[in-house]
A and B are shown apart, each in its own frame.
Chain A
Amino acid sequence: MPRTLPPGSGGTVPWSMTFVAPPASSRDQTPRTGTAGADKLGAATLAADTLSADEVLRIRNDFPVLNQQVNGHPLNYLDSGATSQNPISVMEAEQEYYEQRNAAVHRGAHTLAFAATEVFEAARATVARFVGARENEIVWTSNATEGVNLVSYSFSNASLGLGGPAAARFRLGAGDEIVVTEMEHHSNLIPWQQLALRTGATLRFIPVLDDGTLDLGAAAEIVNPRTRLLAVTHASNVVGTINPIEDLVALAHGVDALVFLDACQSVPHLAIDLTALDVDFAVFSGHKMLGPTGIGVLYGKAELLAAMPPFLTGGSMITTVDMQTAEFLAPPQRFEAGTQRISQAIALAAAVDYLAHTGMNRIRTREAELGRRLVEGVTAIPGVRLLGPGLGVERIGLAAVDVAGVHAHDVGQFLDEAGIAVRVGHHCAQPLHRRLGVTASTRASTYLYTTDDEVDQFLAVLAEVAPFFGATR
């Protein structure tokens, strides 16, 4: 079985000897129920509902990559929104798989193949529990982008008549509308643009207001009986806002449209129950939630997945094959053609264990604190504009800013010189940047291992940027 080490657990390798086990109070591993929030019960039993400064320092011991110097300064990693770092338990889970049970899953009759299949499917169950889903609703993909493409191409195939009468509800054509929002990451925009182009459907979007939130008034008009699908992000990777998914789901379901949720910035940071949210599909990626690269997750309601034609086809997704036709397996295997991302899935389950043991509600609270600290700090610096809403609107622990008169790349270079890693550019959200009147921005994004001091150092160095470049605008 995969190791499910709690935070603070080291391993057998020398650099893990620094670990300090967390106090029992930091563990809220209450088993999930189908409809509860990801750790509702656990959080209720905790004395502290956030991560203390000491706990954050202990957590950092589990992340060896954080313990290094960059340009003569301690690394200050504020780019977790792009990719998060891995605790030792995640790296060991992957290594342990290759050392002890590497084999092809779902085929082969030997002991090692059984062992590999068992941990692979146990990983699926772990991830399913973490997001309030059933195991047959979790499809492994290489990344979140592949999950969006999987659904869009499945609908495309359905539009060509594949999948028979059961798939008729996914057929799109002229007169049908796909609705996205102006704040989407390109990965939740371009696959839908392409689907519209392939099928003749129309792509519409919910605009963003000046403050960086969705125009919900407009949404009520844009989502209409012609709408077949609403694709929306749960939390913005640029402005950090958390969208009112319940309202949007009610709106879409009110006109019998399906809801596709980009949960890449929410599942790593908030307690999520996809069943309770009642979205029809969701995607998230492993590397943004302490897991390895090369693994993503597509969630789909079981009844929908069961009716959808496959996207990628080939080995391991069929029942019977003749020279002209093939019958397909039930989900999730129907959508998992070819050799799977086995070690990555197992390592992702270890990451989920780490997050669940730490407590998602506590991580959410801690990140809200970091988000507030960032917002308060950047808005106090002359010439620095915060993108998106200010204090009073809940956000995940990130902030994107524009430094007047200084290009984001120059801002990033200046910060890097001080050991601070941030994201610069359009963060794969060009339309949102255009809407907010900038071409690029500088984004600091935190996670459970981020300290207050790191945020403060970022703010101090950010304040030096405009004077250095002599920006006068």
Chain B
Amino acid sequence: MTSSAMQQLYQQIILDHAKSAHGSVAELPALDADTATGESGTDVRLAQSHQVNTTCGDEVTVRVALSGTGVDARIDGFTWRGAGCSISMSSASVLHDTVLNTSVAEAEAMLDLFREMLRSRGTIEPDEEVMGDAAAFAGVSKYPARVKCAMLPWVAFEAALLQLR
């Protein structure tokens, strides 16, 4: 019965990330005791955001470490923990790979692209060169009920960044 629509939604990249997630930790240490998120030592500033999808109970906490300020601000560290469906968990894993060690400006641009693609109801063909694995979520945009799943970690990331502005 496995239809092409199902395979478009659950692309192998998504299933792989869901099974072996990048950047996820079983427990996040207290924010002020976290030495694992971010590699540049004492220069980093940490923030986190916990988001819940009330429709299904999926939850994710994203923690980011920023180094530098202004135009030099970079995502120096990114860890997360969560529980949820394969779409939300793989999305967090892909987000980790996408924004770690990029500038905040690049990360925010990617966030806009990702959101635009997911809101497009399948009308936007993503540029894989630009979006990398995140382009695999284009199929999710045809399933309005699942857009929230894919957006969940990105919304948490956005909220964490906002705290460090």
Contact = CB atoms under 8 A, between A and B. Distances in A.
B50 interface: no
Interface stretch (B3-11, B72-80, B102-110, B116-124): B3-11
Nearest to A430: B57
Contacts of B19: 470
A425 B57 contact: yes
B136 to A, nearest CB: 15
A418 B5 contact: no
A4 interface: no
B85 A409 contact: yes
B83 interface: yes
A464 B2 contact: yes
Interface in A400-436: 406-410, 413-414, 417-418, 424-426, 430
Contacts of A71: 3, 5
Interface residues of B, number: 21
B73 to A, nearest CB: 35
Interface string B1-23: 11101100110000100010000
A379 B136 CA distance: 35
A424 B1 contact: no
A470 B85 CA distance: 14
Contacts of B83: 439
A469 B15 contact: yes
B6 A417 contact: yes
| Chain A interface residue bracket vs B | 20 to 34
Given A425-B57, A426-B57, A468-B6, A410 B1 contact: no
B6 A410 contact: no
Contacts of A461: 1
A249 interface: no
Nearest to A473: B19
Nearest to A457: B1
Contact of A418 (B1, B15, B84): B1
Nearest to B143: A413
Indicate the member of B5, B83, B86 with the most A CB atoms within 10 Å. Answer: B86
Contacts of A348: none
B133 interface: no
B140 to A, nearest CB: 10
Given A407-B86, A409-B85, A468-B6, A424 B15 contact: no
A378 to B, nearest CB: 17
A440 interface: yes
B152 to A, nearest CB: 12
A425 B19 CA distance: 20
Interface string A233-263: 0000000000000000000000000000000
B158 interface: no
Contact of A417 (B3, B85, B86): B3
Contacts of B86: 406-407, 410, 469
Given A409-B58, A409-B149, A424-B56, A468 B5 contact: no
A57 B19 CA distance: 43
A435 B146 CA distance: 27
A413 B146 CA distance: 9
Nearest to B12: A470
A410 B86 CA distance: 7
B15 A464 contact: no
10 contacts: A72-B3, A408-B56, A409-B58, A409-B149, A410-B85, A413-B146, A425-B57, A426-B57, A468-B6, A469-B15
Interface of A: 71-72, 406-410, 413-414, 417-418, 424-426, 430, 439-440, 461, 464, 468-470
Given A440-B56, A468-B6, A469-B15, 13 more contacts: A407-B84, A407-B86, A409-B85, A409-B149, A413-B143, A414-B6, A418-B1, A424-B56, A425-B55, A425-B56, A425-B57, A439-B57, A440-B57
